[in-house]
Amino acid sequence: MFVARPVRAAAAMLAVVALTLSGCGTTREQRIGTDTADACYQQRVALDATGDYFAEDMIKGAAVGAIGGAVLGLLIGGDATSAAIGAATGAIAGAAGGYWQARQQQAADKATLYNTVLSDVEREAARISETHLAFVQLVNCRKRQAEEVRTAYRSGALTRDQANARMSGLRDKAQGDLEIARLIREDIGERTEQLAYATYQIAPDAQQRVETRVTRAPVRPTASVARVEPPPRRPAPPRQTQTQTQAQAKPSLPPARAQQATEEKTVEMLVVEKTFDEDIQAYADVSAGSGWMSDVA
């Protein structure tokens, strides 16, 4: 009887935790607003859509950890307070190290493990590139809006006060753009941290090399440049049927080569992440009223 009561309560806690976690998400309208009259609304939609990928797996990992922690806390402590503490602890543990442990448990051998991590890192780098591309396209749209205001002011179509009021409105919109980008960036950071951790387990001596190369990698943020920049070139892979994809599947690399390739791809992933960071910061700087988002003279 002593054991049965906490177990029944633990089962109830599972439902509570599940409901709590399901409420952690937000709707698209909450994240990007409903101003469809905004000329850059579709670019906002496109940027926000790239964030779905980064949020999904981390939310699942946190849910598993939180549920396990809640049950454990309730069984040990026997009350809701212990369960809440366990849920919080479990969520942190699930987010912090779940990826590497899960991959180890799933892999039949070292070659499979290393190649799986390599594939995951490659996919992550490509997805971050897609997000950065969407962000640059949104910033470019705002640049065009700012230039339209300046052109109208120079032609006399707008007074200085009217032009500056519109620039102020653009800066307000930029703050909303940044909120979207930063939410996505937060999820990206959680995932790249796990993937980098896995890389350093595969190649224990790689961390210093990777961090040095990422630090030295040149980055040129486009958000601070007044002219509309061409978006980063990301060649799209040719569309293939499922049969073609299976026939042309990448061969599995031996562990030593997979180890080297994972280190290289981790550098690529972290440099793309760094570039995204720099562009977010550059956009934040101009949205504060400098550069191409400043008031007209």
Q: What length is written for the chain? A: 297
For the whole model, what pTM was predicted? 0.76
pLDDT (tens digit per residue) in 258-296: 999 999 999 999 999 999 999 999 999 999 999 999 999
Task: Encode pLDDT of 162-190 as tens digits.
Answer: 999 999 999 999 999 999 999 999 999 99
Average pLDDT of the chain? 79
Is pLDDT larger for residue 191 or for residue 65? 191
* pLDDT (tens digit per residue) in 244-254: 444 345 678 88
Q: Structural domain boundaries of the chain?
A: 4-23+39-217+252-293
Q: pLDDT for 6-54, tens place per residue?
A: 444 444 444 444 434 444 567 777 777 777 889 999 999 999 999 999 9
